């Protein structure tokens, strides 16, 4: 798996279906809406958060972490209790006793902090054994964010030689865990980190959904953050959870060898957000290979407003047509006219039209073009014969005639 060898044991529970999902890598497909959303978030974070001097992005993007992780990475490093439900083989895909498919991108926090990263996004597919319905699928996609602060980063004060971490950590003799902070943290440091965290996520949310969208913070629980929160947005008459986050448990930093910093982490589910942003009604659509779906996102820019229009469940009928263009230079670019004409003739039945090829015969001074037209009805399965009628109508109009009739 992902170029590494594992020896399965009795715990192995990857179905052939989930093996096929691992092979797809839909997040890397340029015309998948998840890819569009990923680029939008990465572009925004890169532009907004820069290293001192503004010369390069602050956050490192980690997109190719292995999807098989150790149970230490997925659970223990994140302080997940031994008897936690998420460890059950009915919830997690195990390769063997020591390794599983990551159930969340948090599984990489430990390794990446150990490598010395202070600010990073981990992006990728995660796997949970789950029932399949409109909003659940055994594979979905997350973006994890982690930011660690030294005393100077957070409070703008240079560490002093005697006690470089004073003010990040609590100095009281009996520091105890409170709802608002962990044992070791100072309240000031926690509050400052929380402000940074909430500001980062609220600004990201405004960027994605617009400032008008109502949002609210809700207290939450995760074994690896304290305090923990969820951010919800008001959408379609109800509150929808879009991410989980919190102040990282100091033990995580310590076990990764970080002793002089405090950090926040968040995890965002991409499908949820993409379903809202692009009006995608069913999570299974992200896996569609139907060009009626993918063509609605292909070639779009990350910032563009795209709303998905339901495709028909009836089959497509596809025609490739080629013709010579009129030789006059006046008609050099009539591609949009061809698109319009094909749509005028075919009406609702034209699902897609695209220029797929161009050819120029220099000697004869003639140019030809090929278009692919995809017809599909919302009401019935079209036959090739019925559809041919529309193609004939189009070809019967020479492009030249069409141009002239329009110019009149
Ligand atoms: N890993 C959590 C999840 O999948 C989300 C999360 C990430 C929460 C980081 C807090 C901090 O539900």
Fold classification of 312-407 is Alpha-Beta Plaits (3.30.70)
- Whether ligand 1 lies within 6 angstroms of the CB of 145 is answered as no
Q: Which of 118-127, 157-166, 297-306, 394-403 has the lowest mean pLDDT?
A: 394-403
d(C-alpha 30, C-alpha 350), whole Å: 24
Cβ(290)–Cβ(352) under 8 Å?
Answer: no
Asked whether 296 lines ligand 1 (CB < 6 A), one says: no
The number of the ligand 1 atom at minimal distance from the alpha carbon of 104 is 4
Residue 224 clears pLDDT 80, i.e. is over it: yes
Report which of residues 218 and 405 the model is more confident about: 218
Q: pLDDT-based confidence at 312, cuts 50/70/90? A: confident
Average pLDDT over residues 35-42: 98
Count of CB atoms within 10 A of residue 386's CB? 14
Quote the ligand 1 centre to 145 CA distance (angstroms). Answer: 9
Say what the ipTM of the complex is.
Answer: 0.98
Statement: residue 407 has pLDDT above 70: no
Ligand 1 atom closest to 228 (CA)? 10
The CA 267 to ligand 1 mean position distance, Å, reads 4
C-alpha 288 to ligand 1 mean position (Å) = 27
**C-beta 75 within 6 A of ligand 1:** no
Query: Does ligand 1 have an atom closer than 6 angstroms to the CB of 222?
Result: yes
Token pair recorded at residue 216: 């609210």
Confidence at residue 328, expressed as pLDDT on a 0 to 100 scale:
64
| Ligand 1 atom 7, closest CA | 267
- The residue whose CA is least distant from atom 4 of ligand 1 is 104
3-state percent breakdown (helix, strand, coil) of the chain, nearest 5? 35, 25, 40
Residue nearest (by alpha carbon) to ligand 1 atom 10: 245
Q: How many residues does the chain have?
A: 408
**Equal CATH topology for 16-293 and 312-407:** no
Question: What mean pLDDT is predicted for residues 206-233?
Answer: 97
What is the model's pLDDT at position 331? 55
Closest alpha carbon to 292 in 381, 394, 384, 375:
375
Exposed / middle / buried, residue 92 (Cβ in 10 Å: 0-12, 13-18, 19+) = buried
Ligand 1 binding pocket includes 244 (Cβ within 6 Å): yes
Give the number of the atom of ligand 1 that is nearest the alpha carbon of residue 248: 11
Phi, psi of 224 (to 5 degrees): -105, 5
Write out pLDDT tens, residues 381-394.
Answer: 999 999 998 988 88
Instruction: State which of 107, 267, 269, 270 you would mutate to test the pocket of ligand 1, scoring each by most atoms of that ligand within 8 A of its C-beta.
Output: 267
Q: Is 13 exposed, middle or buried (0-12, 13-18, 19+ CB in 10 A)?
A: middle
Least confident segment among 39-43, 137-141, 228-232, 337-341 = 337-341
Q: Looking at residue 405, what is its pLDDT? A: 44
d(CA 140, CA 248): 23
Cα(161) to centroid(ligand 1), Å: 36
What distance in Å separates the CA atoms of residue 350 and residue 339, rounded to the nearest whole number? 10
Q: State the Cα–Cα distance between residues 179 and 157, nearest whole angstrom.
A: 27
Residue 408 in this model has a pLDDT that exceeds 70:
no
In angstroms and rounded to an integer, the radius of gyration of the C-alpha atoms of the chain is 27
Q: How far apart are the CA of 137 and the centre of ligand 1, in A?
A: 18
Q: What is the pTM of this model?
A: 0.85
Q: Which amino acid residue places its CA nearest to atom 6 of ligand 1?
A: 267
Domain ranges of the chain: 16-293, 312-407
Q: Fold for domain 16-293? A: BirA Bifunctional Protein; domain 2 (3.30.930)
Assess contact for 143 and 38: CB atoms under 8 A.
yes
Lowest mean pLDDT of 298-307, 342-351, 392-401, name the range.
392-401
Cβ(106) – ligand 1 distance below 6 Å: yes
pLDDT exceeds cutoff 80 at 317: yes
Mean of all residue pLDDT scores within the chain: 91
Tell me the per-residue pLDDT of 116-133, one tens digit each, with 9 for 90 and over.
999 999 999 999 998 788
Predicted local confidence at residue 158, as pLDDT: 73
CA of 147 to the centre of ligand 1 (A): 14
92-110, pLDDT tens digit by residue? Answer: 999 999 999 999 999 999 9
């Amino acid at each position: 798996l992902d170029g590494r060898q594992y020896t399965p044991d009795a715990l192995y529970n990857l179905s052939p279906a989930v093996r096929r999902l691992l092979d797809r890598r839909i997040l890397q497909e340029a015309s998948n809406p998840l890819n569009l959303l990923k680029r939008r978030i990465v572009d925004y974070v890169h532009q907004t958060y820069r290293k001192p001097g503004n010369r390069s992005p602050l956050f490192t993007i980690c997109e190719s972490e292995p999807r098989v992780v150790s149970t230490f990475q997925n659970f223990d490093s994140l302080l997940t209790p031994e008897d936690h439900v998420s460890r059950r083989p009915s919830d997690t895909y195990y390769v063997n006793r020591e390794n599983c498919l990551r159930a969340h991108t948090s599984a990489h926090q430990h390794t990446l902090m150990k490598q010395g990263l202070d600010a990073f996004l981990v992006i990728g597919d995660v796997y949970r054994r789950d029932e399949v319905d409109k909003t659940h699928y055994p594979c979905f996609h997350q973006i994890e964010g982690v930011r660690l602060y030294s005393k100077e980063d957070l409070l703008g004060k240079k560490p002093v030689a005697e006690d470089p971490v004073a003010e990040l950590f609590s100095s009281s003799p009996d520091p105890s865990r409170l709802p608002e902070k962990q044992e070791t943290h100072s309240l000031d440091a926690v509050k400052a980190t929380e402000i940074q965290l909430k500001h980062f996520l609220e600004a990201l949310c405004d960027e994605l959904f617009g400032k008008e969208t109502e949002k609210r913070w809700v207290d939450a629980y995760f074994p690896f953050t304290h305090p923990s929160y969820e951010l919800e947005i008001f959408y379609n008459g109800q509150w929808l959870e879009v991410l989980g986050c919190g102040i990282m448990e100091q033990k995580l930093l310590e076990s990764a060898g970080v002793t002089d910093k405090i950090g926040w982490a968040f995890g965002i589910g991409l499908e949820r957000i993409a379903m809202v942003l692009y009006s995608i009604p069913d999570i299974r659509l992200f896996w569609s290979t139907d060009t009626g779906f993918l063509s609605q996102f292909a070639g779009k820019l990350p910032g563009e407003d795209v709303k998905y229009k339901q495709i028909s469940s009836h089959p497509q009928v596809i025609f490739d047509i080629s013709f010579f263009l009129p030789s006059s230079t006046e008609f050099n670019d009539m591609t949009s006219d061809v698109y319009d004409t094909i749509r005028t003739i075919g009406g609702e039945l034209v699902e897609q039209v695209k220029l797929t090829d161009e050819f120029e015969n220099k000697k004869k001074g003639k140019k030809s073009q090929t278009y692919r037209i995809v017809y599909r009805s919302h009401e019935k399965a079209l036959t090739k014969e019925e559809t041919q009628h529309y193609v004939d109508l189009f070809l019967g109009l020479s492009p030249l005639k069409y141009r002239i009739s329009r110019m009149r």
